Structure 1
Amino acid sequence: MIRTLLARAGLVATATFAATVLTAAPAAAHGADAPDGTDYRTRATGVTPQRPGLEVRVVEAGARLELTNDTGRAIEVIGYSGEPYLRVGPDGVFENSRSPATYLNRTIAGDTALPAEADPAAPPTWRRIADGSTARWHDQRALWQESAPPAQVRAAPDREHRVRDWTIPLRDGADPVTIGGTLDWVPPPDAYTWWAVTIVGLLAVGALGLVAAAAPAGARALSALGALLVVGGALAVGYPVGRELDAGAHGVGGVLVGLLSGQIWSLLTGLGAIAAGWYALARRPAADFVVTLAGACVALFAGVGNAAVFARSIAPVPWPPELARVMVALVLITGTGATAAGVLRLHAAPKTPAPTGPHPTGPR
């Protein structure tokens, strides 16, 4: 019976994964092309001259800039040809549909085809795109757009390099203002080391499945799996929360909107792993099956989906990249390890002996 349920659950999980891949929509809270990690560190050094109430910061691991204007006046962001590109003020955020930057900045690669109406010399045509006083946008002046690293990086890739200092012009009425910042190359970590540690860890967790299902050793092993899965699920929820905060989400409501629109699978599988862990701690019937399925889902959607951070020096979260790698490694270890352990425990579960009795035809 358990094997039949497991086979059916596998089919359901496979179908769910296929549907997710085929129907996945771009994230709404953060950019659709928000990176999972990068080796280029973008920093904003400030606004010159200073304007009280005008703040700029880098979000999405450097992929976007965020400008918040609480000065009470409209501030314009100037495009690549000196034309007005964005206007941020008390009445909301507007983009100039005649500015080429409006279209080029829609993707991090800047590869959007320009429509015929894009003309930096034409008078601006403003289109409202958001309420509030905060704008976020890709800006090629703060990014490295080439596929190959800079020459100094190719010469010494194991060292940190200043790629360039960058500036973005603004306009406060008739007064020019400038955003300043830096772009640096940061050597990536050794991904093989992180994968090796992860594999050793998940094998150790999976070894819990070798403990027979009989009490008391089997019961203790099941409780250990449950506790580990609760930890992995909590980390699987915490990581996308960090991504939303790094993408500029403000307050509980902003984070929830971002999670539900752009990080829904990681969130749901993390919560499911926590629930499955508690189920195993309570030693409920079919707990091995529940642990197996929940572990596989959290490893796939919250672990593998964020594993790019193993090979990137800058992580899309507001805490150190080393901590981000540890979190992803633990999600993979607990999720994949719990799956392996659950399968082994299901396989080792004692079989119910067939009933014995007199031969149906009676004695000969």
Structure 2
Amino acid sequence: MIRTLLTRAGLVAAGVLTATLATATPAAAHGADAPDGTDYRTTVSGITPIRDGLSVRVVEAGARLELTNRTGRPVEVIGYSGEPYLRVGPDGVFENAHSPATYLNRTIAGETTLPPEADPAAAPSWRRVADGPSVRWHDQRTLYRESAPPSAVRAAPEREHRIRDWAVPLRDGADPVEIRGTLDWVPPPDAYTWWAIATVGLLAVGAVGLLAAGSVPGARALAGLGALLVAGGAAAVVYTVGRELDAGAQGAGGVLLGLLGGQVWALLTGLGAIVAGGYALARRPAADFAVALAGACLALFAGVANAAVFARSVAPVPWPATSARVLVAIVLIAGAGATAAGVLRLHAARTPAATRV
């Protein structure tokens, strides 16, 4: 009966997934160099003068700008030498092959070698790169690219500092327009505190594995581990979805495409932890092994992989950074703790057998 229900649930989920992907509009996944966290907060103040149908926002923890043009006419983004760089309008998104910004903005560091055709004085050579009314790009005018913090930050690292006000020029027909914003340095949190919380928590959870597996407390402990693993998996899924929302994904289809394109391992380990947790709650055979394996994958792919937020003030999610740290701490505690407890329980189960032999 249970197996039949699970099969039907899987078929329904597969059908929903297929339908969602089929009806989803194309959405760009977050960039390969999207930061796991930063101490520099990029904020958009607005577009001057205001244009109805023209909007801009910051995505990927400030690493990119996203411009959406629903005015019904093309708008150009101007490059670093005053040349046309991008054009977005009713016919899609185009980039100028002669603009140096086309190549410099391919990475957040801007270290791309310019090809011979990169000449800002040459007439634009437009090539279509996307459909739709939106374009995303790294812009060096909105970022802090030096390896060392500014001198004001080094002198008073405990305070916020305005690094600069920035502007990115646009052109709406013959009219000049600007995206305006600010770049601030925000003091990072104490990473040691968060690592201490995660370490103490996972050790406490791991100690549950010392309870005798065949006893009543041991059976209850297995159920507790299952519930904790479900919570950790859910936290991983929520954090992963948050990363896609911060990367600019819109709607269920856009989020799903982004997850499958760039966050698939974190998503799968989160879902796997939920399944393994449910397996343990049902006290199924080999539940200890499932808990240990799922916990290890969860801690590695969804916990350690996102642990940079413990030391960064700006997290790549659309919520307060403290919420992101709490979610990652839950993932680490649940994943690493469940792994330790599962291994201890497996060892305890094998020891009596070895003694009998």
Aligned counterparts, 1:250-289, within 5 A: 250-289=250-289
What is aligned with 2:141?
Answer: 141
Gaps of 5+ in 2: 1-27
By how many angstroms is 1:351 displaced?
Answer: 2.8
Structure 1: how far apart are the matches of 2:138 and 2:240? 21
What is aligned with 1:8?
Answer: none
One-letter code aligned to 1:256: L
Gaps of 5+ in 1: 1-27, 357-364
Q: Deviations over 1:10-62 (max 9, x none)?
A: xxxxxxxxxxxxxxxxxx61011000000000000000000011000000000
Structure 1: how far apart are the matches of 2:308 and 2:127? 37
One-letter code aligned to 1:51: R
Structure 1: how far apart are the matches of 2:85 and 2:234? 42
Structure 1: how far apart are the matches of 2:256 and 2:211? 40
What is aligned with 2:84?
Answer: 84
What is aligned with 1:196?
Answer: 196
By how many angstroms is 1:355 displaced?
Answer: 8.7
One-letter code aligned to 1:340: A
Calculate the TM-score normalised by the size of structure 1. Answer: 0.89
One-letter code aligned to 1:225: L
One-letter code aligned to 1:199: T
SS in 2 for 1:182: strand
What is aligned with 1:170?
Answer: 170
SS in 2 for 1:351: helix
Q: Deviations over 1:163-188 (max 9, x none)?
A: 00000100000000000000000000
Moved segments of 4+, more than 2 Å: 350-356
Structure 2: how far apart are the matches of 1:247 and 1:275? 27
By how many angstroms is 1:215 displaced?
Answer: 2.9
Structure 2: how far apart are the matches of 1:93 and 1:63? 20
Structure 2: how far apart are the matches of 1:310 and 1:355? 48
By how many angstroms is 1:113 displaced?
Answer: 0.3
Structure 2: how far apart are the matches of 1:154 and 1:318? 28
Structure 2: how far apart are the matches of 1:234 and 1:296? 15
What is aligned with 1:6?
Answer: none
Aligned counterparts, 1:226-241, within 5 A: 226-241=226-241
Q: Deviations over 1:286-326 (max 9, x none)?
A: 10011000000000000000000100000000000000000
What is aligned with 1:98?
Answer: 98
Aligned counterparts, 1:243-254, within 5 A: 243-254=243-254
What is aligned with 2:21?
Answer: none
What is aligned with 1:351?
Answer: 352
Structure 2: how far apart are the matches of 1:33 and 1:352? 51
User: Kindly tell me: are residues 101 and 216 of structure 1, through their superposed partners in 2, closer, same or farther at Cα, counting changes over 3 Å?
Assistant: same
Aligned counterparts, 1:330-341, within 5 A: 330-341=330-341
What is aligned with 1:127?
Answer: 127
User: Kindly tell me: are residues 212 and 193 of structure 1, through their superposed partners in 2, closer, same or farther at Cα, counting changes over 3 Å?
Assistant: same
What is aligned with 2:67?
Answer: 67
Structure 2: how far apart are the matches of 1:320 and 1:92? 34
One-letter code aligned to 2:209: G
Task: State the superposition RMSD in angstroms.
Answer: 1.4
By how many angstroms is 1:216 displaced?
Answer: 1.1
Calculate the TM-score normalised by the size of structure 2. Answer: 0.91
Aligned residues: 330
Aligned counterparts, 1:33-52, within 5 A: 33-52=33-52
Structure 1: how far apart are the matches of 2:312 and 2:267? 23
One-letter code aligned to 1:351: P
User: Kindly tell me: are residues 353 and 320 of structure 1, through their superposed partners in 2, closer, same or farther at Cα, counting changes over 3 Å?
Assistant: closer
Structure 1: how far apart are the matches of 2:325 and 2:297? 19
SS in 2 for 1:43: strand
Structure 2: how far apart are the matches of 1:352 and 1:67? 65
Aligned counterparts, 1:317-332, within 5 A: 317-332=317-332
By how many angstroms is 1:228 displaced?
Answer: 0.1
User: Kindly tell me: are residues 171 and 186 of structure 1, through their superposed partners in 2, closer, same or farther at Cα, counting changes over 3 Å?
Assistant: same
What is aligned with 1:184?
Answer: 184
Q: Deviations over 1:334-354 (max 9, x none)?
A: 000000000111111263489
**1:115 aligns to 2:115 (yes or no):** yes
What is aligned with 2:211?
Answer: 211
What is aligned with 1:7?
Answer: none
Identity of aligned residues (%): 78
SS in 1 for 2:205: helix
SS in 1 for 2:279: helix
